[in-house]
Chain A
Amino acid sequence: MLASSTSDLLPGYAPQQDGYDEAVGPSGETRPAWKMLSRAVALMTPADIADRQRQADRLVEAEGASYLFHDEGADASRPWRLDPLPLVLGGHEWAQIERGVSQRVRILDRMIADIYGEQRLLLDRVLPSAAVFGAPGYQLAAHGMMPPQSRWLAVYAADLLRLANGEWRVLRDLTDAPSGAGYALVNRNVSAQMLPDVVRDMAPLSLAPFFADMRLALDASAPPDRPSPRTVVLSPGLGDPSYFEHSYLAAHLGYHLVETGDLVVRHGRVWLRALSGLEPIDVLLRRVDSNSVDPLESATGMMGVPGLARAARGCGVGLANALGSGVTASMAVLPFVADAAVAFGEELMLPALTTRWCGDPENQSMVLAALSKFVLHDTAGLGVEGVRQAPTVFGSQLDSAARRQWIDLITTQPHRVVAQDKATFATAPVMTPAGVRPGTVVLRVLAVVGRQGISVMPGGLARVMDPSIPIVNQTSGQTKDVWVLDDRPDRPLPMSTRVVRSMPQVDLRESLPTRAAEAMYWVGRNAERSEALARAASSALSIVQGDPTLLTAFDGGWRRPVVAGLYALADVASPLVDGKSPSTVTPDDEFRAAIRTALIDGSGLPGTLRGLSRAASSARQFVSAMTWRVLGELGAERTQLGAEVADAYDSGVRRRLDTVLVNLSSLAGLFNESTVRGPAWRFLEIGRRVDRALCVLSVFDNVVSPASPGTRSSLFDHVLASNESLVAYRRRYRSDAVLDALVDLLIRDDTNPRALAFQLDQLRNQIALLPSRDGTQVLTQKIEQASASLVEVSWLTSEADQLGANGRREVIDRFVRAARTPLLEFAAQLNLVYFNDPTRLRQKVGGR
């Protein structure tokens, strides 16, 4: 294809001649809306561009969002990149889109109501029954249902494409549980930080009012009798591709993020399993697709909340969107929206791409005749909303076998297949390493529906597409922020400004889903364990590097305790057989192996760090944005440790450990700071304290107890260094490490944040503040038992320092036993009393 005369403002930017470009007109002149941005871009050197992209990546990472919704499991996802260049749309053009989208929402809502109600459209054959009944989102359970305010759609999204003639077309309606709002929000936050001056000058419309509207829309989805409805975001959980968005959105809207297991249905209402018992829920922002809503009313699935479908039908809870709304998300229904509009006496302002449903014999034969002219979709394969990998292909790219299969499918089950004409779509400037280049862009527009009407997000989520792959299949990759210019006086105000707000009436402070509580607990434990591992290993390394002879000295009397200690911290069974390696292993290898276990293997630091970020992301609403940045950096270090560091003595190791420790400190700071001292924080604290207590004990068990007179001072130094208490120790006892002093500092001293006594005090305080449940008092007892063990070491005579026959200090061993047992029981009890999550144990039973 010929390139047109290049852009007047963007040197080297040459969109295809026969296409439409957002920024540049046919003769290369910059379109008005783009002038300001293009000028800004024109000033950038390639270096600037690279720098902006780096900054964008960093900021996206900082938001904790490395991945856009994608196909497979969380780990196999493609990275999310934000193109520093936004997609700019003029206010007037936007107004048309706005009107078109609003109209579609109205019509789709009526269609859904009809499908599950009177079925006029079906009886009159406006909608072919096979298209509807065959739609993956079609829900028998929704039949005869009347959602609150008889409104089915609260949230709607559409993917739009612009044709070569400049007109917008709908690629797909998303009416079940549309995603994108959260991503749009992230993109805006990032681009606002990245191009602040441009943002200020161009003043794209703010997204904030839209989210206010979203809250209203959700409130409006509540059953009529709920004056101040309580909403939660219902997500399938960590495994879900757009889990990030769920948690991000929840955090932004100030709602709890819950999974189906956190909810129960009783007496026709929905309740949240919370720390303080069951709490009533009025609205679910539903991000699980309608097939996974209720296992009782789904023939196969285990997923969902038993009884939820009936609760919804009985208006015991509002679902946004209502059960079954997904029916119109099927591409088989897409072509008939226009007909429905006509039936309702309207003309579609924003039509769909030409889409042929093969359920219609004419289309069927036309498509079979010229397979290669079309893009083929198997709607059944698309899933409710097609976020999963869609069996969509270019007819032209089929090999004979695939061709055969499609022909079979179209002949035997025509209702499943739709075909769209291949077309060239509009392009927009995209930053590439090679400079600014044109790229095909699909625009996801979002709208919410409240009592006051429909509000369309002034902006949205644009995705840069690879024209050589069917667009429906492209679910991740590069995105763009979307800027709508405020160049229109008559712009309607967001509905949130048209209503009086109700004062906050539900106080969620003390409310905490048990799942979140558990997550916070594990955030604490993993953070603490990571630090312990890092410090112990780094201390061991530096001591050995200072005096390698220690490895062999005293016939391993120094080495063995240290090695055992490292394995214990990593919770890995020590390979040492009664303290000795098989003779084939050299002391050096034995030591290296231990270091590797603690620092490099999944069992060690990388494992605990991974656990840390996983736990954190399932309690995101309690984790501040800054914290995500730090977690991000820790993630990076984790991969480095796992991958790069080949050898324990690699000089990179110590450097990495420093970074890890520094970031863990920031983490501690961030958690202390600007975190409400509510139950969530309390469980975090409990987790930290429990783990630190266990770590200290493990060190005493493995390192202190067997320290012989010869190795004692270097071993004790190691213990102190591992607990970051060397300085404190030196400041207080000017002596070389002495047992009693060591115990005093690390066990008895309730002012030293590293000491056991300190941890026990904290635990005691935190438990006292937890909502009491049966078994809570047991927790307190366990702490008291653990504290009681301190008398064992209340004052240590020099006899206590003597090694017993087994080469260990009996006093220490007795003490460790006495303290550790109740602590472990404490952890178990905590799990029993507060985290006991029945959903793990649920099972489905059938009967003939």
Chain B
Amino acid sequence: MALLSRVAEQLYWGARYIERAEDTVRVVRAYTDVLVDLPTSVTTSWEPLLAITGTRALHDAHHDRVDEASVIHFLVADDANPNCIVHAVAAARENLRSAREVLPRDAWQVVNDMYLYVAAHRSDGVSRRSRSRFAERVIADSQRLDGILSGQMSRDHAYEFLRLGQAMERADMTTRVLGVRAAALVESGADVYAEVQWMGVLRSLSALQMYQRATNSPINGMSVIDFLLHDRAFPRSVMSCLQAIRDGLARLPRGDQLAPVIAEVFATAAQVSGDAVDGAELDAETDLLQSALAGLNNAIISTYVGVLD
């Protein structure tokens, strides 16, 4: 059945928003865990969370303090932040809602569930005590959706657009985490708690266990960066996301038109060096990657959606 351009776009963004919600939750949870593992003596800042989610400016516009309370509230439930988890889930629902008839019924139910839960429990997401429960629920729902899609949805164009959105968002998030947390850590050099910190980085991308499986050894900054960038077997690494996007486009009509764009992104990603010893350099390189991804995003939209009158 032919896929409506509008629906294609809604699927794409729906998937992106769901993924954004999950990723944000993971980053927040992991960051909280790290702080719990660090002794009080080590001073900690909540700014990285804003940087990762790219909402620093927006946050400062509305809050004068950058402390746990304000940052977490801002990322989870602040109406001033269109990317906060509550809004991301709502946006996802709004998009998928009018694309509903191409989704498996269960899929819509999960999204709706998720929306109802998040809306009703926004405060849980903020309070430290219930935060992990909130996070678990959001992640679980998002996973459930993933399972339903892969288990019940035909590998048709609608499916491809969902996966496209998911992969784009993941690539984006992984890149941000690298650009902010990783870069900072590389800057600060190996201190006593480096291992704990790097664990945090991995956890925030749910990569810890897989990293350990991949490299049977103590956690090491350089190899973490390399893993998150180039490991083609780990679904959240930048490279495998790009791979997924490329394959997805190949299965879509007129996907070839986008070949040059994606090739460019690959090139940029390849330039980011896993063995960057200079944090600033890493930061800069990931910025380039960010904008390349943004370019790809626009190219996809204009090819398949064009301008709706």
Binding site for B on A (CB under 8 A): 55, 62, 192-197, 199-200, 203, 205-206, 208-209, 212, 215, 228, 230-231, 251-255, 486, 493, 496-497, 501-509, 531, 621-622, 624-626, 629-630, 661-662, 664-670, 672-678, 724, 727-728, 731-732, 749, 751-754, 758
In the complex, number of A-B residue pairs with CB atoms less than 8 Å apart: 177
Question: Are B132 and A196 in contact (CB-based, < 8 A)?
Answer: yes
Which residue of chain A has the shortest Cβ distance to B192 in the bound complex?
A497
Q: In the complex, how many angstroms separate the beta carbon of A730 from the nearest chain B beta carbon?
A: 11
Contacts known (A674-B235, A674-B236); A504 close to B215, Cβ less than 8 A: yes
> For chain A, what secondary structure do more than half of its interface residues adopt (helix, strand, loop), or is it mixed?
helix
Q: In the complex, how many angstroms separate the beta carbon of A5 from the nearest chain B beta carbon?
A: 32
Digitize B282-305: 1 where CB-to-A-CB distance is under 8 Å, 0 elsewhere: 000000000000000000000000
Bound CA span A677–B222, Å: 22
Contacts known (A496-B195, A622-B213); A728 close to B154, Cβ less than 8 A: yes
Which residue of chain B has the shortest Cβ distance to A491 in the bound complex?
B39
- B246 at the A/B interface (Cβ < 8 Å)? no
Contacts known (A206-B37, A672-B146, A674-B235); A629 close to B140, Cβ less than 8 A: yes
Bound CA span A667–B143, Å: 8
Question: Are A753 and B154 in contact (CB-based, < 8 A)?
Answer: yes
Bound CA span A751–B1, Å: 13
Given contacts A206-B39, A501-B220, A673-B206, 12 further A-B contacts (CB under 8 A): A196-B128, A196-B129, A196-B131, A504-B218, A506-B217, A508-B216, A672-B146, A673-B235, A674-B234, A724-B104, A727-B105, A751-B156
Which residue of chain B has the shortest Cβ distance to A724 in the bound complex?
B152
Question: Are A496 and B106 in contact (CB-based, < 8 A)?
Answer: no
Most buried by A among B35, B156, B195, B220: B195
> For chain B, what secondary structure do more than half of its interface residues adopt (helix, strand, loop), or is it mixed?
helix
Bound CA span A503–B133, Å: 36
Question: Are A673 and B143 in contact (CB-based, < 8 A)?
Answer: yes
Question: Are A209 and B140 in contact (CB-based, < 8 A)?
Answer: no
Contacts known (A208-B199, A672-B235, A675-B210); A230 close to B146, Cβ less than 8 A: no
Bound CA span A476–B158, Å: 52
The one of B136, B195, B210, B215 in contact with A674, judged by C-beta atoms closer than 8 angstroms, is: B210
Count of B residues near A, CB < 8 Å? Answer: 58
Please report which residues of chain B, range 112-145, place their CB below 8 angstroms from some CB of chain A when the two chains form the complex. 128-129, 131-133, 136, 139-140, 142-145
The one of B40, B129, B213, B235 in contact with A197, judged by C-beta atoms closer than 8 angstroms, is: B129
Question: Are A677 and B235 in contact (CB-based, < 8 A)?
Answer: yes
The one of B131, B147, B206, B214 in contact with A672, judged by C-beta atoms closer than 8 angstroms, is: B147
Question: Are B192 and A675 in contact (CB-based, < 8 A)?
Answer: no
Please name all residues of chain A whose beta carbon is closer than 8 Å to the beta carbon of B133 when the two chains form the complex.
55
Question: Are A669 and B146 in contact (CB-based, < 8 A)?
Answer: yes
Q: In the complex, how many angstroms separate the beta carbon of A603 from the nearest chain B beta carbon?
A: 24
Question: Are A665 and B151 in contact (CB-based, < 8 A)?
Answer: yes
- B207 at the A/B interface (Cβ < 8 Å)? yes
Please name all residues of chain B whose beta carbon is closer than 8 Å to the beta carbon of A625 when the two chains form the complex.
209
Contacts known (A503-B223, A622-B213); A509 close to B233, Cβ less than 8 A: yes
Q: In the complex, how many angstroms separate the beta carbon of A522 from the nearest chain B beta carbon?
A: 19
Please name all residues of chain A whose beta carbon is closer than 8 Å to the beta carbon of B156 when the two chains form the complex.
751
The one of A55, A196, A251, A621 in contact with B36, judged by C-beta atoms closer than 8 angstroms, is: A196
- B264 at the A/B interface (Cβ < 8 Å)? no
Q: Which 7 A-B pairs have the closest CB atoms?
A: A669-B147, A254-B212, A668-B147, A669-B146, A504-B217, A504-B215, A669-B143
Which residue of chain A has the shortest Cβ distance to B156 in the bound complex?
A751
Q: In the complex, how many angstroms separate the beta carbon of A425 from the nearest chain B beta carbon?
A: 31
Contacts known (A203-B40, A208-B199, A724-B104); A676 close to B139, Cβ less than 8 A: no
Question: Are B40 and A486 in contact (CB-based, < 8 A)?
Answer: yes
Bound CA span A554–B129, Å: 61
Question: Are B33 and A504 in contact (CB-based, < 8 A)?
Answer: no
What are 15 contact pairs spanning A and B, CB under 8 A? A196-B129, A206-B196, A208-B195, A253-B212, A501-B220, A504-B215, A505-B217, A507-B215, A508-B215, A626-B140, A672-B150, A674-B206, A674-B234, A678-B233, A753-B153
Bound CA span A208–B131, Å: 22
Bound CA span A493–B195, Å: 14
Bound CA span A60–B30, Å: 19
Q: In the complex, how many angstroms separate the beta carbon of A681 from the nearest chain B beta carbon?
A: 9
- B155 at the A/B interface (Cβ < 8 Å)? yes
Most buried by B among A625, A665, A666, A727: A665
Bound CA span A677–B151, Å: 17
- B70 at the A/B interface (Cβ < 8 Å)? no
Digitize B242-276: 1 where CB-to-A-CB distance is under 8 Å, 0 elsewhere: 00000000000000000000000000000000000
Which residue of chain A has the shortest Cβ distance to B232 in the bound complex?
A677
Question: Are B192 and A493 in contact (CB-based, < 8 A)?
Answer: yes
Question: Are B150 and A669 in contact (CB-based, < 8 A)?
Answer: yes
Which residue of chain B has the shortest Cβ distance to A208 in the bound complex?
B196
Question: Are A731 and B146 in contact (CB-based, < 8 A)?
Answer: no
Question: Are B214 and A753 in contact (CB-based, < 8 A)?
Answer: no
Please name all residues of chain A whose beta carbon is closer than 8 Å to the beta carbon of B215 when the two chains form the complex.
254, 504, 507-508
Bound CA span A194–B195, Å: 23
Please name all residues of chain A whose beta carbon is closer than 8 Å to the beta carbon of B192 when the two chains form the complex.
493, 497
